[in-house]
Amino acid sequence: MQDILFDFISKYVSLNDEEKNAILSLDLFRSLKKGTILLKEGQRSNESYFVLKGCIRTYYIIDGEEKTTAFFTEMDALTPHCVATKTPSQYYVSCLEDTIVTVSNSDMEVEVNTKFPKFETMCRMLSEELLAKQRLDLDEFKTSSPEQRYLNLLQNRPDLIQRVPQHQLASFLGIKPQSLSRLRARLLEKKS
């Protein structure tokens, strides 16, 4: 499990044994049961997550309805908005499956970043990369129809369609569950 983390880190910086041990000594790993809520609307938090196994999602409750907007699976990192801005959270974060994550808090990060500038470099690179990637996601969402978005998801993250409940997928695609059902039926028609 640690290897997954170090493999990921090695994409950005190379760590020596001392540095690896420093990270391990922080005792970051945690196992979470399906359904565990990591963050609620209105709460403050300073915890960031990195998913080693499983899946966590973010969702809002708007007019009493759950609106799922993002899924984080293996090798995905999540720093909730409220952590970056020190404000109460606008959304919930919870485990869709039994999940293993690393949990870090901002105090730890400040400390590690100071001690190992290399680590800060990694965080900067990672954030910049995710920022650019997320921009593409937003652009793709803006420029395509629900049907195209579904087909795209089928291409790029087929695992999600298997492991995530339909109604959560629907709101992730920006539509209602009924529309997703219909859309899928329509696509099956077309194929045949």
Interaction site with a copy of itself (CB under 8 A): 58, 60, 62, 67, 69-70, 79-81, 83-85, 90-91, 113, 117, 120-121, 123-124, 127-139, 141-143, 171-174
State yes or no: residue 184 binds DNA (CB under 7 A).
Answer: yes
Cβ at position 35, least distance to a copy of itself in Å: 22
State yes or no: residue 174 binds DNA (CB under 7 A).
Answer: yes
- Nearer to a copy of itself by C-beta: 40 or 98? 40
Q: According to CB under 7 A, which one of 21, 87, 114, 178 is a site residue for DNA?
A: 178
Cβ at position 172, least distance to a copy of itself in Å: 7
Secondary structure E strands in the chain:
29-32, 37-39, 47-53, 56-62, 65-72, 77-78, 92-95, 99-105
Q: Do 13 and 124 form a contact (C-beta atoms < 8 A)?
A: no
DSSP classification of residue 45? -
CA angle 107/110/115 to nearest 5° reads 125
